[in-house]
């Protein structure tokens, strides 16, 4: 895009990802590792509902937001963010305006399986993974499957 502006895509989810030397004073590391929400924007006299998410670099607070400090791809911050991005994207898809899918306790789908990984395998560097995507290993938290009484899984 020549202007450098992002498109205003109502079907997209925009992620703000930070480096480990950046915090968010609203509670990154103490209240959350990531979150998603939405905002109504006026674009050329048209109202658009834009979904977005914040995911901080968990190298800033490994004990709070990183599942492991040695990671499959040798970058614990980025590998840790991949798992949190998956969590927030799943929730943004099923509860984009915070009024759709959540349970009686207020948990969104990924919240119900947060920080659970299912069957893992150990890699030569000592880290753990539970999936291989495009030739790279990742440890990605599971998501809720709302069938058969409900359970956490990596696929359905
Ligand atoms: Zn969540």
Task: Find where tokens 């674009």 sit.
Answer: 43
d(CA 101, CA 116): 20
19 C-alpha vs ligand 1 centroid, how far in Å? 21
* Neighbouring C-beta atoms of residue 93, cutoff 10 Å: 16
- Whether the model pTM is above 0.85: yes
- Per the CB < 8 A criterion, the answer to whether 143 and 152 are in contact is yes
Ion ligand 1: residues, CB < 5 A: 110-111
In order along its 156 residues, the chain shows pLDDT tens digits of 578 888 899 999 999 999 999 999 999 999 999 999 999 998 788 999 999 999 999 999 999 999 999 999 999 999 999 999 999 999 999 999 999 999 999 999 999 999 999 999 999 999 999 999 999 999 999 999 999 999 999 999
33 C-alpha vs ligand 1 centroid, how far in Å? 9
70 C-alpha vs ligand 1 centroid, how far in Å? 24
d(CA 115, CA 95): 19
118 C-alpha vs ligand 1 centroid, how far in Å? 18
d(CA 57, CA 47): 32
d(CA 47, CA 66): 37
């Amino acid at each position: 895009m020549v202007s450098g502006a992002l498109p205003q895509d109502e079907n997209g989810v925009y992620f703000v990802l930070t480096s480990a030397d950046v915090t968010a004073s609203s509670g990154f590391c103490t209240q959350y590792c990531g979150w998603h929400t939405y905002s109504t924007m006026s674009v050329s006299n048209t109202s658009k509902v834009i979904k977005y998410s914040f995911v901080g670099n968990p190298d800033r607070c490994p004990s709070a937001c990183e599942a492991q400090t040695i990671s499959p791809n040798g970058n614990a911050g980025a590998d840790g963010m991949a798992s949190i991005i998956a969590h927030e994207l799943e929730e943004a898809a099923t509860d984009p305006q915070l009024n759709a899918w959540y349970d009686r306790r207020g948990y969104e789908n990924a919240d119900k399986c947060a920080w659970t990984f299912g069957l893992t395998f150990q890699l030569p560097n000592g880290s753990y993974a539970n999936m291989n995507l495009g030739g790279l290993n990742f440890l990605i938290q599971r998501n809720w499957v709302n069938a058969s009484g409900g359970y956490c899984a990596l696929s359905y």
